[in-house]
């Protein structure tokens, strides 16, 4: 396997691009590092599997958790905490603050909501990472919706709310603050999350979402 690693420096810190030559899969995977991690530690290790083929059928699931984290002095944005309900708008989930979306990309509406499936959480748990809902910064945790049903352009409909998946969320080393990760295991966790950090979505129609609400994917 041939691996290329390119480094880009911005005001916010270094960005790394990890690229594996086809047919082994991942290309142009970017993630941000704000901690001192050896580059070799990120590059080493087995490649993650290719992302699943996007399904085309309608899938019915439900929202199991709605999570937010307000801007709090001296605290990072992870993990997010459960709320009984929340209004979602083009600006995101009310009561939630995402530093990257707000300060680095000017409140890009394509990054309004982060969605994660319980399928991914279960996979990570089986691999020895005790990830709980909200740990990875997702706003909506979904049950009954397989990863194969999600991808850019997929719409998620729940009540009056319609979301549209815009792009995959790339893993970042900010997850080192989770108690089961830490700085030493951060490179390994970043590799583990490649293709499994969730999906960003834009809000097409606004409304209120709560745990237990049904949600339907529309390809």
pLDDT digits (tens, 9 = 90+) for 11-21: 333 434 444 43
Phi, psi of 164 (to 5 degrees): -130, 125
Instruction: Identify the CATH number of the domain defined by range 53-218.
Output: 2.40.33.20
Is pLDDT at 23 greater than 50 in this prediction? no
Task: Give the separation between CA 7 and CA 79, rounded to whole angstroms.
Answer: 28
Higher local confidence (pLDDT), 214 or 28: 214
Question: Which range has the worst mean pLDDT, 3-7, 34-38, 95-99, 171-175?
Answer: 3-7
Q: For residue 79, say if its preceding peptide bond is cis, omega within 30 degrees of 0.
A: yes
Q: What is the pTM of this model?
A: 0.75
């Amino acid at each position: 396997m041939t691996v290329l690693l390119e480094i880009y420096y911005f005001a916010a810190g270094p960005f790394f691009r990890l690229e594996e030559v086809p047919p082994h899969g991942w290309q142009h995977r970017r993630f941000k590092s704000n901690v001192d991690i050896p580059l070799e530690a990120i590059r080493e290790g087995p490649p993650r599997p290719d992302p699943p083929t996007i399904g085309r059928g309608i899938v019915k699931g439900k929202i199991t958790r709605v999570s937010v984290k307000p801007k709090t002095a001296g605290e990072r944005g992870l993990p997010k905490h459960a709320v009984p309900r929340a209004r979602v708008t083009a600006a995101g989930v009310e009561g939630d603050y995402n530093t990257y979306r707000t300060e680095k990309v000017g409140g890009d509406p394509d990054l309004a909501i982060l969605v994660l499936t319980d399928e991914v959480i279960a996979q990570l748990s089986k691999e020895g990472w005790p990830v709980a809902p909200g740990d990875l910064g997702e706003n909506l945790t979904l049950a009954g919706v397989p990863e194969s049903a999600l991808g850019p352009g997929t719409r998620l409909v729940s009540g009056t709310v319609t979301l549209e998946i815009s792009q995959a969320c790339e893993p970042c080393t900010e997850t080192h603050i989770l108690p089961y990760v830490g700085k030493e295991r951060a490179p390994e966790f970043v590799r583990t999350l490649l293709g499994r950090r969730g999906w960003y979505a834009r809000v097409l129609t606004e409304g209120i979402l709560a745990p237990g609400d049904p949600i339907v994917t529309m390809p």
